[in-house]
Structure 1
Amino acid sequence: MTVPLPLNERPALEAYPFLTVHPVRYGDLDPNNHVNNAVIGTYLEIGRTEFFDREGIRLTAEGRGISLVHMEVEFHREILYPGFVQIVSGIRRVGSSSLTFDQAVFVDGVRHISASTTTAQVDKATKRSTPWNDVQRAKFERLMMR
């Protein structure tokens, strides 16, 4: 596990190359009337999926797929209903077949969740990681967190 940055040293909302807005659904709530911690994983997945879609990066073509291989989440504030979440994502590291993302969930511009997620490209037939090609790597470069 990495040592987390203090909250006041985290990147601002505007520092992330990708942002999507998603409604908080009533079904996202737990008995404490705030968004269930399991739903945060779904919000982060929405962020990564829409990130790839917007950039035209198709990870499921040509016999390839993408798998989540690691996720670290910090909960700073509860998320309440009704409302909207701002899900932000940026690439921190490109490995031979993996991507590590810096992700966060904001509400009204205030950070509620910080996360680091790593995905790997896999060959669907062998279920083994498969390297990024040059076209993919070129697209990733402009989506890096600076």
Structure 2
Amino acid sequence: MSARAALDSYPFVTVHPIRYGDLDPNNHVNNAVIATYLEIGRTEFFSREGIRLTSEGRGISLVHIEIHYHREILYPGFVQIATGIVKVGGASITFDQAVFVEGQRHVSASTTTAQVDLAAKRSTPWNDVQRARLATLMMR
């Protein structure tokens, strides 16, 4: 996980409003909402790249998440959710993700998703076409 990568080093950034309902009793964004922001980043990354999350009986599942909280995120405002692929495994993808507010890093995360066979409920390897496509999307 890159704790210091600049916002402009990520290949994909999406912006979302901080909602009042995202807050916890301490009046900052709840940790569970941070995981949702990261999911939004991955999902919109796939969408922008035209990668369908479910096809031919396959889907994508989150298998690992590691989150480091550097600063609290306060309401109101907007978050910038940064996402980049750092590793393509046999059936998995590992992302470097971060949440920024006004260009300042508040959260660093490493998330891994795996392609799964929906009927068997098991991971299933990328085919050659998928692997070649994912290789073009690696964070540099």
TM above 0.5, yes or no, is: yes
Out of 120, 125, 130, which is 1:126 matched to?
120
Gaps of 5+ in 1: none
Match of 1:71 in 2: 65
Out of 40, 49, 53, which is 1:46 matched to?
40
Q: Deviations over 1:35-91 (max 9, x none)?
A: 001100000000000000000011201100111000000000000101000000000
Match of 2:16 in 1: 22
Runs of 4+ in 1 over 3 A off after TM superposition: none
2: CA distance, partners of 1:87 / 1:38: 15
2: CA distance, partners of 1:22 / 1:139: 27
Cα deviation, residue 137, structure 1: 1.6
TM-score normalised by the chain length of structure 1: 0.92
The code of the aligned residue for 2:136 comes to R
TM-score normalised by the chain length of structure 2: 0.96
Is 1:116 aligned to residue 110 of structure 2?
Answer: yes
Is 1:84 aligned to residue 78 of structure 2?
Answer: yes
Match of 2:92 in 1: 98
Contact 1:19–1:86, Cα closer than 8 Å, also in 2 = yes
What is the number of residues matched between the two proteins?
Answer: 140
Match of 1:62 in 2: 56
Is 1:33 aligned to residue 46 of structure 2?
Answer: no
Match of 1:141 in 2: 135
Cα deviation, residue 127, structure 1: 0.4
Gaps of 5+ in 2: none
Cα deviation, residue 143, structure 1: 1.6
2: CA distance, partners of 1:145 / 1:21: 19
CA RMSD of the aligned region, Å?
Answer: 1.1
1: CA distance, partners of 2:7 / 2:132: 24
2: CA distance, partners of 1:89 / 1:31: 29
